[in-house]
Structure formats: structure tokens, C-alpha cells
Structure 1
């Protein structure tokens, strides 16, 4: 991992632990193990840092989830099997500061128009991944379902984070959504 990525991961960690309001250059530099000068050299503003952290998070997340899709694509999963796989993936997702940091960044984007483009790019990546999965499953008119599928999973993840719930029920919810739209 290069210095820039270390700073971005540190920013996600700090945001996850302290919230966006607790984000300071000193905390980020300490968490990344770099000097303040190095931090400001790479990121002249916190908005730029937050935008890049959000994009790095979604790039890594999409790569990981695409690996799952590719692994199961050739098996020809049924809707039930795919929903079960999604539930298993969600149950295995990290339940910590990195995930909290990503949700904090989405909330911050609602307050800061300069971050909204990065948030839109993140959701576009999730939408694309959902579209690939739905097409692989042979769901009719998958374009209609990408937004609702992503929203359902994001909402259930937020609920999991807020309540400590283990994510059970995702498969059932996805199957109801997909079957109801068919």
C-alpha cells in the first residue's frame, strides 16, 4: 500500500471511529503513520480527502464483490441460491470502523455538494454490480431492479450496523423484491 492509500484508509478509520466531525489532519496523519506535511501534500483539502476515500472504498468493495459474482456466475445460480449467497456475503462483511466510515461519508455527501459526485459514482458502481448479478440470474427487466436492490442491501446494512443484527433476512427480502417485480 502506498502513502496515498494509507492516508485514505486512515481517513476511513478515523471517520468510522470519530465521525466526520472528528476528522482532523493530526488524527489522520497519526493513524496513517505520516507527517502532517505529507498529508497536506497529497490532499490539500479535507473535501478532496473525503472524496478520494469514498472512491477508494467503493473501488475496493466493488472489486471484492465482483470476485464473488464471477465465482458464482458460471454455476448458474437460481434466485434463491443467489439471495442466500448475498446473505452469506453480508454476514461476512467487516463489522467495524471501515464500514461505519463509508456510511458516514455518504451522510456527509448529503450535506456537502462537493462530495455528491463521488457518492453518485459509488452508487453507480453498486448499481452496475447489481445489474450484472440480476442479468446473470436471468431476471426480466433487471434495469428496473438495480436501484431497489442496492437500496435494500444498503438499508439492511445500515440497520445491521445500528442494531448489531446479524443480517438474517436479507435473502428473504431480496427474493420478495425480485419475485414481486417479475
Structure 2
């Protein structure tokens, strides 16, 4: 690896261990074994490096999640069981990647003061939505259509909400079965509302 790759690797490690807001340039230089000056040379600023490291780390988590989802789908029988099993795997991934999720929430809180970060996260959002749509349907990719984006928006909202609940209180976070029951209740009342009696 070269200095650029070492810096990205060190920045990712710092995101996991120290978070987005508490990571200093010196922390990254120390974690990567590269000089402080190299950060400016390769990325222009510590923030630009952290932003790129965060987007890459989220992508790596997505790859790990895809593997977990495939395992859940292989071990479950029927779409409802698969749905519940997949969300249980998502919960397990939070435990393994807690530092990354904490860093993401920290970064999101900074976007109003960091236009560069807002731009990078915004650019990654559409890709993420399409990726989630494909992932939860068990497909390698999906077309960039309004339907697939809508499906991805739904999954992204579930994912972010579950992550927030898990970060606040892991023992009270809903299970895959809880998610399935909620989906059944909400879809029943929204898609098949009771008809008024004449």
C-alpha cells in the first residue's frame, strides 16, 4: 500500500475507535504510520480524508451485510421468515460495526456545517438506496427506476431507524420478528383499510 491507501486505512480505524468528531489529524497519521504533511498532500484536509474514509467504510459494511443477508436467505423458509432473518442479521452487523454507526450519526449531525460532507453523503445516498433495494430482494443489481428507489428509501428508513434504536439501547432494539409484525400491521391498515359500513 502507498501513503494514500495507508491514510485511508488509518482514518477508517480512527472512525471505528474514536468517531468522526474526536479524530484528529495526528490520530490518523499515527494510525497509518504516515506523516501529518501527507494528509494535506493526498487529501487537502483531515476532513476530506475522513469523509472519503467514512463513505468507503460504509461501502465495506454494505459488502459484509450482503454476505450476512445471503446466509439468512439460505437458512430461512418463505418470504416472511427471510424478512425476519435478514433483519436479525442487520442487528448482528451493528454489534460488529458499532463504531462505524456512531461515526455516521456524528457525521450526519455535522452536515449543516460541512457542505463537502453533505455533498459526499448525498452522492452516496442514491447508490445506497439502489444497493439496499437489490440486497433485500436477493438480486445482484436493480435498475435505476422510481420503483427501485422507492423500495430503497423504505429499506434505508428502516435501517437508519433500527440503527438509531440499537445505538440508544441495544437490548430494546426490535428483532426481525418485531419488524415483520409491524410491517404486517402497517401494511394491513394502509393497503387494506377497513371499509366503512353503509
Q: Secondary structure of 2:44's partner?
A: coil
Greater length-normalized contact order (CA 8 Å, ≥ 6 residues apart): 1
> Does the C-alpha gap of structure 1 residues 77 and 36 become closer, same or farther in structure 2, counting only changes over 3 Å?
farther
Moved over 6 A (4+): none
- State the distance in 2 between where 1:13 and 1:151 align: 27
After TM superposition, the structure 1 = structure 2 runs for residues 1-182 of structure 1, keeping only pairs within 5 Å, are 3-70=3-70, 72=73, 77-93=78-94, 94-136=96-138, 143-165=149-171, 167-174=173-180, 176-177=182-183, 180=187
Q: How many corresponding residue pairs?
A: 179
Distance 1:54 1:109, change over 3 A: farther
Which whole-Å CA distance do the structure 1 matches of 2:135 and 2:100 have between them? 25
Gaps of 5+ in 2: 140-146, 192-198
Gaps of 5+ in 1: none
Say which SS state the counterpart of residue 23 (structure 1) adopts. Answer: coil
- Give the Cα separation in 2 of the matches to 1:30 and 1:165: 35
TM-score (norm 1): 0.75
Across the aligned residues of Structure 1 and Structure 2, the Cα RMSD in angstroms comes to 3.3
- CA distances 1:138-182 after superposition (whole Å, capped 9, x unpaired): xxx664332122112112112212224374434422553377166
Q: Note closer, same or farther for the CA distance 1:97–1:133 as it changes in structure 2 (3 Å cut).
A: closer
Aligned counterparts of 2:20 and 2:65: Cα–Cα separation in 1: 26
Q: Which moved more, 1:5-14 or 1:153-162?
A: 5-14
